[in-house]
Amino acid sequence: MESSPRQFEPAGAGALLAGTTVAGVGVGALVGWAAGSASIGALGGAVVGIPAGVFAVYRRYRGYFT
């Protein structure tokens, strides 16, 4: 019995991207809060979280585009 190939789910990709980015901003805000500036930490978290989200979506759906 063959399994069907994994399908690309745009809503799932968007949720993964948003979730990873929000997690990065949250962690950055916590680190920034501990260091004295939550807003700067959130900005740093966004700088790290956006590429991390893109990478997570790429890793999850890399087989779809080949």
3 or 7: which carries more pLDDT confidence? 7
User: Has residue 50 got a pLDDT over 60?
Assistant: yes
**Domain count for the chain:** 1
Plot region of 6 (φ>0 → left; ψ -120 to 50 → alpha; else → beta): beta
Mean pLDDT of 30-59: 96
User: Has residue 1 got a pLDDT over 60?
Assistant: no
CA distance 49 to 38: 15
pLDDT band at 5 (very low <50, low <70, confident <90, very high): low
User: Has residue 28 got a pLDDT over 90?
Assistant: yes
Domain contains 35: yes
**pLDDT the model gives residue 7:** 78
Domain contains 54: yes
pTM of the model: 0.82
Domain contains 10: no
CA distance 21 to 57: 11
